[in-house]
Amino acid sequence: MKKLTLSLMTALLLVSILPMQASASTNPENTALAVPATTESAQATVLINRLSEIKAMDISSMKGAEKKQLRKEVKSIKSQLKTLNGGVYLSVGAIIIILLIIILLL
C-alpha cells in the first residue's frame, strides 16, 4: 500500500511539474519582459556603485552626524536593491509545512 501511495504521489508530481517546464521554454512572450529588467539592472548598478563609494570613504575623519547620514543612506540603498531584485523566497520551514499540509490532504 505504501509503494502504491508513493508511486502515485511521484507520478502526480511529475505530471504537474513537467508541463510547466515545457511551456516555459516555448513561450515567445518571455523575450518582451527582458527590456524592463535591463533598466532595473542599470539602476541597481548605480546603487551598487554608490555603496562601493561609501565603503571607500574615510569614515574616521567624519563627524557623528555625517556618519549617521551615511548609515541611513546605506540602509535605504539596501532596501531599494531588495525591492529591485524581487522574487519570492521560501524558507526551509515553510516548504516543510507546505509539504506536510499537502501530504495530510492527500
Q: Which three cell numbers stand for residue 101?
A: 499540509
Nearest to 85 by CA among 53, 43, 31: 43
pLDDT of residue 33: 45
pLDDT digits (tens, 9 = 90+) for 13-25: 777 766 655 555 5
pLDDT digits (tens, 9 = 90+) for 42-80: 888 898 999 999 999 888 898 999 999 999 999 999 888
Indicate whether this model's pTM tops 0.85.
no
Residue with cell 506536510: 100
